[in-house]
Amino acid sequence: MARSRIATGTVVQHGAMEGREPPTDLDKVRRDRLAKVHRELARRDLAGALLLDQLNVRYATDATNMQVWCLHNEVRYCFVATEGPTILFDFSHVAHLSGGLPGLSERRPARAAMYMGSGGRLREHAREFARQIADLVREHGAGNRRIAVDRMGPDSFLALRDEGLEMHDGFEVMEEARKVKTAEEIVLMRKAIEASEKGIRAMREFLRPGVTENALWARLHEANIAEGGEWIETRLLASGPRTNPWMSECSMRVIEKGDMVSFDTDLIGPYGYCSDISRAWVCDARPTGEQRRLYMNAMEQLEYNKALLKPGLSFREWTETAWRTPEEFVANRYGVLAHGVGLCDEYPAIYNRQDYEANGYDGHFEPGMVVCVEALIGSEGGREAVKLEQQVLVTETGHERLDAYPMDETWS
């Protein structure tokens, strides 16, 4: 098999960030993240991790290549040995994309096993893929055949099993590795938030009667890309009656004077970190009494729940002590009180008391975790809803809000 060794000692700036001085030591971020993956693998007595989810590949290696395309095409993956090398399996002619990354031992051509690329040879290619991974486990696992796997097609999974490998949940490993951020990661996350807030300011300046939801949303995309950001995960911007119930994505609807406009950035910004914040505005008018009532309830929900956040707080305790949602807003409540955030939305998810029995799980907040605190207020059958969200760091003594864009001053 052709192999490509990775040069060491080269400072790498990937993709859109080339030419810009990084705000912190990127190689330290990379080494620290990989060390956390190794720690979680060792805790579970696993020989290594086979990662196909591109955000997990990014976390372990910081190597990128057509991220969104590869999220839905299984053509790129990495193997992280618990005691041994980290090997990136990528396209055949792109070694220049990952040169100089610390912790990345070598690069090999990927053996893709998906129907688009393999057609009727899918099972053959899956067996070849599995043999390559099994060989690595035999070479570096010291007899341990247990590996973590995050996602793959059934033919590949069955082929790995036929090779005698014992598969365990790779998402558990990676979510636990990713949940506590280092100080350097927080620096990078702040850059993503800065990029999104430039986009939010551009949206606010552009908002006027007669523009479409899509045209308004485009301002956020433009600012993110210009600042070296990468993509936006959703299209959650709605106006007027499309805000309630929530979750309508932006459309060609023309925004009218006096409409509520609510949005959620869900933005993957510079250096791959997520900025996930929400605001609500009224277009070119003072808010009505009903709009003001909705907004003040949303602010109360947000501030009350945020004030509870501290290290040592259990997820169950937060749910049980959270703001009591008035009955008229319960039916259209948001899915969670809060969720973790890093390279994207991450563990944990904190559920409303109405949903805890069916979906909730316990755990504790730790310093260095970052969560997005959610608020959504809209009456069942009402015309509009207010969506608010802030990005918050858990500190040694409490919490710190990371986003800085103001809550709308016109509501007071």
Residuewise pLDDT in 10s, the chain (412 residues): 444 444 444 444 455 567 779 999 999 999 999 999 999 999 999 999 999 999 999 999 999 999 999 899 989 999 999 999 999 999 878 888 888 999 999 999 999 899 999 999 999 999 999 999 999 999 999 999 999 999 999 999 999 999 999 999 999 999 999 999 999 999 999 999 999 999 999 999 999 999 999 999 999 999 999 999 999 999 999 999 999 999 999 999 999 999 999 999 999 999 999 999 999 999 999 999 999 999 999 999 999 999 999 999 999 999 999 999 999 999 999 999 999 999 999 999 999 999 999 999 999 999 999 999 999 999 999 999 999 999 999 999 999 999 999 997 666 5
Sign for the CA dihedral angle at 111, 11, 175, 262 comes to negative
d(CA 330, CA 355): 11
- pLDDT for 99: 87
Residue 324, classed as helix, strand or coil, is coil
Q: What is the DSSP string of 92-125?
A: TT-GGGSTT-TT--EEEE----SHHHHGGGHHHH
Task: Report the run of H or E that residue 261 belongs to, with start and end.
Answer: strand 260-264
Position 250 scores a pLDDT of: 98
Which pLDDT does position 372 carry in this prediction?
A: 98
Q: What is the pLDDT of residue 7?
A: 40
Q: Structural domain boundaries of the chain?
A: 4-178, 183-411
Which residue has tokens 């899915």? 335
To the question of domain 4-178 being in CATH 3.10.310.30, the answer is no
Which one-letter DSSP state was computed for residue 405? P
CA quadruple 1, 148, 151, 131: dihedral sign: positive
Per-residue pLDDT, 9: 41
Residue written as tokens 């990662």? 51
* pLDDT at residue 95, rounded to an integer: 85
339: which residues sit within 8 A by CB, 6+ positions away?
345, 346, 348, 349, 350, 371, 372, 374
Fold of 183-411: Creatine Amidinohydrolase (3.90.230)
**pLDDT score recorded for residue 412:** 57
Task: Give the C-alpha distances (Å, rounded to integers) separating 309 from 154, 298, 357.
Answer: 41, 17, 21
Can you list the positions of beta strands (E) in 4-120? 4-5, 48-51, 77-81, 86-90, 106-109
pLDDT value of residue 62: 97
Domains 4-178 and 183-411 share a fold: no
Q: Residue 394 forms beta bridges with which residues?
A: 399
Neighbours of 7 (CB within 10 A): 12
Tell me what pLDDT residue 93 has.
84
The predicted pLDDT at position 1 comes to 41
Q: What are phi and psi of 395, to 5 degrees?
A: -105, 180
